[in-house]
């Protein structure tokens, strides 16, 4: 199956950058296939309900997923993983429940406020998540504590609408693969998102799994100090090739 569509496109309006001409062997289709071959289908985002996905997307800010799982387990054990219950919950009690996720005062306050806003404006979670992607994104971004990455994660995984989530791993991995790290770092969120979406088929399962694959690679191999030797992209990655050249010149 061929996922890639569209041609090359400049990223920035003022200072356009271009991917190297010889990138046919490392386009996004190839990158995805190599990652999928290594990690398999990752079935991300974990959650028993759309509301659990939304809560997880809010709690995962500035913490590890293991800590989010502990906080969600607390909410489930207390029978509080419910939008109406959280909106009415005493803030001190909610802070105790989400404490493992870190920044618990801030996150409890934002979670309670967001739940209340959804109920007040839309009546229930289903009505809210049924908004089209543009309206849903605008509404999410109007809520305190929700930025583009969090909003798009909720749209992609809870609402089930295809929008490509951009995170630090996306910038790091694609910047290294194409040898354009500084350019990928400097691009705005929306510019990079538009660029990627212009290169791959608009498909919900693909967007969900590709994002999960990128996160997995970033956690396992493409670290700040990367483990290139074992990385599934090492044969097509400019960063790895350049590193090999430097090592060879030292011998």
Question: How many domains does the chain contain in total?
Answer: 2
Do 125 and 216 fall within a single domain? no
The verdict on residue 17 lying in a domain is: no
Do 219 and 191 fall within a single domain? yes
- 238 close to 42: Cβ distance less than 8 angstroms: no
Give per-residue pLDDT as tens, 106-130. Answer: 999 999 999 999 999 999 999 999 9
Statement: residue 247 has pLDDT above 70 = no
Percent of the chain exceeding pLDDT 90 equals 85
What's the pLDDT at 134? 97
Give the lowest-confidence range in 21-25, 48-52, 162-166.
21-25
Residue that finishes a domain, picked among 158, 182, 212? 158
Q: Distance (Å, rounded) from C-alpha 152 to C-alpha 160?
A: 10
The verdict on residue 4 lying in a domain is: no
Signed CA dihedral, 62, 67, 69, 70: sign only? negative
Unique residue bearing structure tokens 């608009």? 202
The verdict on residue 32 lying in a domain is: yes
What's the pLDDT at 15? 37
CATH number of the domain to which 199 belongs: 1.10.1670.10
Q: Distance (Å, rounded) from C-alpha 228 to C-alpha 239?
A: 9
Give per-residue pLDDT as tens, 142-200. Answer: 999 999 999 999 999 999 999 999 999 999 999 999 999 999 999 999 999 999 999 99
Percent of the chain exceeding pLDDT 70 equals 87
Do 183 and 227 fall within a single domain? yes
What's the pLDDT at 158? 97
Do 114 and 171 fall within a single domain? no
Do 147 and 54 fall within a single domain? yes
Do 142 and 81 fall within a single domain? yes
The verdict on residue 190 lying in a domain is: yes
CATH number of the domain to which 126 belongs: 1.10.340.30
What's the pLDDT at 249? 61
Do 123 and 54 fall within a single domain? yes
124 torsion bin: left (phi>0), alpha (psi -120 to 50), beta (else): beta
Do 145 and 198 fall within a single domain? no
243: confidence class by pLDDT, cuts 50, 70, 90: confident
The verdict on residue 3 lying in a domain is: no
* CA 196 vs CA 105, 184, 190: distances in Å: 36, 12, 10
What's the pLDDT at 14? 35
Residue that finishes a domain, picked among 130, 158, 186? 158
- Concatenating the DSSP letter of every residue in 125-156 gives HHHHHTS-HHHHHHHHHTSTT--HHHHHHIII
The verdict on residue 2 lying in a domain is: no
What's the pLDDT at 250? 62
Q: Distance (Å, rounded) from C-alpha 124 to C-alpha 212?
A: 28
Phi and psi at residue 68, in whole multiples of 5°? -65, -45
Please, what is the average pLDDT of the chain? 90
Q: Distance (Å, rounded) from C-alpha 76 to C-alpha 111?
A: 15
Do 144 and 195 fall within a single domain? no
What's the pLDDT at 9? 38
Q: Which residues lie closer than 8 Å to 26 by C-beta, 6 or more apart? A: 177, 178, 233, 236, 237
Do 187 and 98 fall within a single domain? no
Give me the domain span that covers residue 120.
50-158
Do 177 and 195 fall within a single domain? yes
Residue that finishes a domain, picked among 118, 142, 158? 158
113 torsion bin: left (phi>0), alpha (psi -120 to 50), beta (else): alpha
The verdict on residue 93 lying in a domain is: yes
Task: Give the three-class secondary structure for 41.
Answer: coil
Q: How many other C-beta atoms lie within 10 A of the C-beta of residue 195? A: 21
């Amino acid at each position: 199956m061929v996922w890639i569509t569209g041609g090359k496109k400049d990223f920035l309006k003022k200072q356009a950058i271009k991917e190297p001409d010889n990138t046919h062997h490392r386009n996004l289709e190839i990158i995805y296939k190599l990652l999928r071959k290594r990690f398999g289908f990752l079935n991300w985002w974990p959650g028993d309900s759309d509301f659990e996905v939304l809560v997880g997307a809010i709690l995962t800010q500035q913490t590890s997923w293991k800590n989010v799982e502990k906080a969600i387990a607390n909410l489930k054990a207390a029978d509080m993983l419910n939008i109406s219950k959280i909106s009415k919950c005493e803030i001190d009690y909610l802070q105790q429940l989400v404490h493992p996720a870190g920044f618990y005062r801030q996150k409890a306050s934002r979670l309670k406020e967001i739940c209340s806003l959804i109920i007040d404006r839309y009546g229930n979670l289903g009505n809210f998540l049924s908004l089209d992607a543009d309206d849903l994104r605008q509404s999410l971004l109007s809520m305190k504590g929700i930025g583009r990455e969090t909003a798009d994660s909720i749209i992609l995984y809870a609402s089930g609408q295809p929008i490509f989530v951009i995170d630090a791993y996306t910038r790091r991995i694609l910047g290294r693969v194409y040898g354009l790290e500084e350019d990928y770092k400097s691009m705005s969120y929306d510019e990079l998102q538009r660029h990627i979406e212009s290169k791959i088929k608009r498909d919900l399962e693909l967007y969900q799994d590709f994002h999960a694959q990128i996160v997995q690679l970033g956690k396992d191999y493409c670290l700040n100090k990367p483990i290139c030797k074992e990385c599934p992209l090492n044969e097509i990655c400019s960063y790895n090739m350049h590193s090999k050249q430097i090592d060879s010149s030292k011998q």
